[in-house]
Chain A
Amino acid sequence: MWRYLIPLAILLVLIGFFWRGLSLDPSEVPSPLVGREAPAFALPSLHEPDRLVTNLDLAGEVTLFNVWGTWCPGCHEEHDELMRLAEEEGVRIVGLNLRDDRETAIQWLSQVGNPFEQSGFDGDGRVAIDWGVYGAPETFVLDHRGQIRHKHIGPITHQDIDNTLLPLIRGLEQEARE
């Protein structure tokens, strides 16, 4: 009896491990920052280099903090969705323009539309390191206290917004009102 049960049990355990392991996306590394305060930073604004964008600008209301660059194909891909979030859903989005050329970035935004309330200009990527960014686009959802509640890695799709981001954002807005 055991002779058959033990291999069967081992097989079941292996199936369980593979089922879980193969359905995970290895490029999505969970961020240790979720649940913590936004890392402090102060960067010159993309559009007005004399003005600073800081982590304090992220607090006050539920905010998306989106890491982008004109060199980043995924950022072009998700741009329409960011526009929809900002214009139709009224979500505040603050940008982190990563390792980009200032003129190119400003020009791109003026061509395709600017979903960002403002963008910090992180020319050498120092702030991105503090935020644990390893590939743009990455998007952090922050609550009204400026705490990171969720991190989305990779381009945001229509489904991501409808299934994950908007429900989360509406929930956090409810939390802010209470």
Chain B
Amino acid sequence: MKLLTPFFILAALALLSLSVQAADPGEPFEDPALEQRYHRIVNELRCLVCQNESIAESNAELAQDLRAQVRTMLADGATDQEIKNYMTERYGDFVLYRPPMRADTLALWFGPAFLLLIGAVVLVVTLVRRARQDAEEEAELEGREQ
């Protein structure tokens, strides 16, 4: 148990890192629903300066400016779609962590499920074939014994 303690600490630290948010200079919205929308949006926009962070997590100047921009647009009553359009018009679809569903992104959306399906089919076919083979061999052995 004692040996495992460091691992528990590591695991706890790993969990903590999931909820990291960069310091946010903007005033939070009074309306909790608006504040929630804000957090959802900034967590789904990629910071292009440090590409594995969302603009919610990044401390890059650009991310700070874009967070401020999202706040301003929300305060002005922009819809989520309008904010996403604003971002993709400037930075391309790459800023969206959730890419749009289009003909050229179908492989992205359904590719993994499709590959899983193929794997499942191959597995079932192999298992059925093997079971049949075993049954045949058994029948043959029984036939010989008699």
A26-B51, A29-B48, A29-B94 known; A134+B62 contact, CB < 8 A: yes
- Segment with Cβ contacts to B, from A52-60, A101-109, A123-131, A141-149: A123-131
**Which of A33, A125, A135 interacts with B90 by CB under 8 Å?**
A33
Closest approach, in angstroms, between the C-beta of B29 and any C-beta of chain A? 22
User: With the chains together, A31 CA to B69 CA distance in Å?
Assistant: 20
Q: Could you say which of A26, A27, A29, A99 contacts B92, with CB atoms under 8 Å apart?
A: A29
Query: Interface code B75-97, partner A: CB below 8 Å = 1, 0 otherwise?
Result: 00000000000001111101000
Q: A29-B92, A32-B90 are contacts. A129–B49 as well, Cβ < 8 Å?
A: no
B68 to chain A, nearest CB (A): 10
Neighbour of A129 across the interface among B66, B92, B94, CB < 8 A: B66
- 0 or 1 for each of A10-30: is its CB under 8 Å from B? (1 = yes): 000000000000000011011
Q: Which residues of A contact B62 (CB under 8 A)?
A: 125, 129, 134-135
A132 at the interface (CB under 8 A from B): yes
The interface residues of chain B lying within 8 Å CB-to-CB of A125 are 61-62, 65
A31→B92 contact, CB < 8 A: yes
Residues B90 and A131 in contact, CB atoms below 8 Å apart: yes
Q: What separation, in Å, do the CA atoms of A27 and B89 have in the docked complex? A: 18
Which B residues lie within 8 Å of A32 (CB)?
A: 88-92
Q: What is the count of residue pairs linking A and B with beta-carbon distances less than 8 angstroms?
A: 38
- Contact B92 A30, beta carbon cutoff 8 Å: yes
Cα A132 to Cα B93 in complex, Å, equals: 12
Hey, which chain A residues are within 8 Å of B88, CB to CB? Answer: 32
Q: Which residues of A contact B69 (CB under 8 A)?
A: 129
- List, in ascending order, chain B residues with CB within 8 A of A134's CB: 48-49, 62, 91
Chain B residue nearest to A130 (CB atoms) is B90
Q: Which of A27, A129, A130 contacts B51 (CB 8 A)?
A: A27
Residue numbers in A under 8 Å from B90 (CB-CB):
32-33, 129-132
- For B93, give the chain A residue with the smallest CB separation: A32
Q: Which residue of chain A is the closest to B51 with respect to CB atoms?
A: A26
Interface centre among A124, A131, A132 (most CB of B within 10 A): A132
CA distance A125 to B89 in the complex (A): 17
Q: How far is the CA of A132 from the CA of B88 in the complex (A)?
A: 9
Residues of A within 8 A of B89 (CB): 32
Q: Which residues of B contact A29 (CB under 8 A)?
A: 48, 91-92, 94
Residues of chain B with a CB closer than 8 A to A129's CB: 62, 65-66, 69, 90
Q: Once the chains bind, are B92 and A135 in contact (CB under 8 Å)?
A: no
Contacts of A132 in B (CB 8 A): 90-92
Give 6 nearest A-B pairs by CB, closest first.
A134-B48, A132-B90, A32-B92, A29-B94, A132-B91, A134-B49
Besides A32-B90, A125-B65, A129-B66, 19 new A-B residue pairs in contact (Cβ under 8 A), listed by A number:
A26-B51, A27-B51, A29-B48, A29-B92, A29-B94, A30-B92, A32-B89, A32-B92, A99-B61, A124-B65, A129-B62, A129-B69, A131-B90, A132-B91, A132-B92, A134-B49, A134-B91, A135-B49, A135-B62
